[in-house]
Structure 1
């Protein structure tokens, strides 16, 4: 036999089926979607995100995909690259770390080989975050060198 005969569902059976479906499947699916972070007000490019400017909300759209911020800790202290609108999810690609050095400011250059360490003053030619490789002009000699921005605000010069 190729088909099976189905049992006839009575009104009581239909009600229990609907209850099982609504409580058994819908509730866990909504709980698995998680949370998202949205701005409470407009956040403009270059503006640092403060805890008061964002809120964490439950995700209700099952079609929401992508790398969006899920917790407030992920975005607090970061800087926006573009305008963020209230009520819209914040994409992680729209954020960057704050600049550790600013173009035209004074920084300390350091270069080390073995036990020898050389230090000089310099001026960054661009804004940069920690870990970025930038070009810096040595204020004493005028030579432009490349180096990595360190956490303490100095630039570790690379050997040529």
Structure 2
């Protein structure tokens, strides 16, 4: 087992064991599945926080973990990743006890219910729900621009799909399927543009104690801006969670442990090679 693996394993079990020994420990019980309540996933969205003082419980519930999944998508989070995120946010995990399931499936916030108010009689075209339709034919992989779409009254016969009703919800999104001119855009036809693709080599940046380290790793899954994805170190094939920050760029969540270790190992080998010469 590498030093990195030992460090992460020790961190995981230390959080569980030390937390269970403390009489005043707050208990974090991870749910099997959960829904974000806003644009950010909070600790209180994915786990029940009990014991300890009321002030401590409320503080923990409000810890921001990462951006909520996009509509029609979900994210699987392991308890180890949760612990790393809490450490990154400066939370003292020595007085936390973790229980419940080891992984949780996180879904986006449910759309707010529409409120219909009955008022003065107006033309049907002014009271009909508006939907987003295309102004030209768009192909798979196209990024939707504001000039590509417009709002039109919804066809009363077409009520079965979750269609886009606001322009800002589709502008900047990537199309998964081609759409003809004049068609209504359905939300499951869209996704956030991929910044990282599975299998490609990407830049990994880590910051720790005021030092920034950049290395290269292999992406193990696709990721859009703000997504958390798993990457694999080229040095020892260690896998760890990162946060997508740009095109082929990610940032390490766990205080740069793996990336810095990888860079240090590379520098050490270079020094040895220089000495032999």
User: Which TM-score bucket, shorter chain as reference?
Assistant: 0.5 to 0.7
- Tell me the alpha carbon deviations over residues 80-127 of structure 1, each in whole angstroms, 9 at most, x when there is no partner: 111212211101111111112234132214376xx6978452231332
Does 2:91 match 1:91?
Answer: no
Residue 136 of structure 1 is matched in structure 2 by 231
Query: In the alignment, which residue of structure 2 is the partner of 1:107?
Result: 203
1:45, CA displacement in angstroms?
1.8
Q: Which residue of 1 aligns with 2:252?
A: 156
Listed as ranges, the matches of 1:31-110 within 5 Å are 31-59=126-154, 61-65=155-159, 66-103=161-198, 104-110=200-206
Q: Distance in 2 between matches of 1:98 and 1:91?
A: 16
CA–CA distance in 2 between the matches of 1:55 and 1:26?
22
**What's the C-alpha RMSD, in Å, of the aligned pairs?**
3.0
Q: Which has more radius of gyration?
A: 1
1:51–1:151 distance in 2 versus 1, CA, 3 Å: same
- Partner SS for 2:224: coil
> Could you list the runs of 4 or more consecutive aligned residues of structure 1 that deviate by over 6 angstroms after TM superposition?
none
Match of 1:17 in 2: none
Q: Which residue of 2 aligns with 1:4?
A: none
TM-score (norm 2): 0.40
Q: Counterparts of 2:171 and 2:163 in 1: how far apart (Å)?
A: 14
1:155 counterpart SS class: strand
How far apart are 1:128 and its partner, in Å? 0.8
1:48 shift after superposition: 0.7
- Rate the CA distance shift 1:109–1:138 in 2: closer, same or farther, 3 A: farther
SS at 2:201 equivalent: coil
How far apart are 1:31 and its partner, in Å?
2.1
Structure 1: 5+ residue stretches without partners: 1-23
Tell me the residue number matched to 2:218.
123
Report which of the two has the higher share of helix.
2
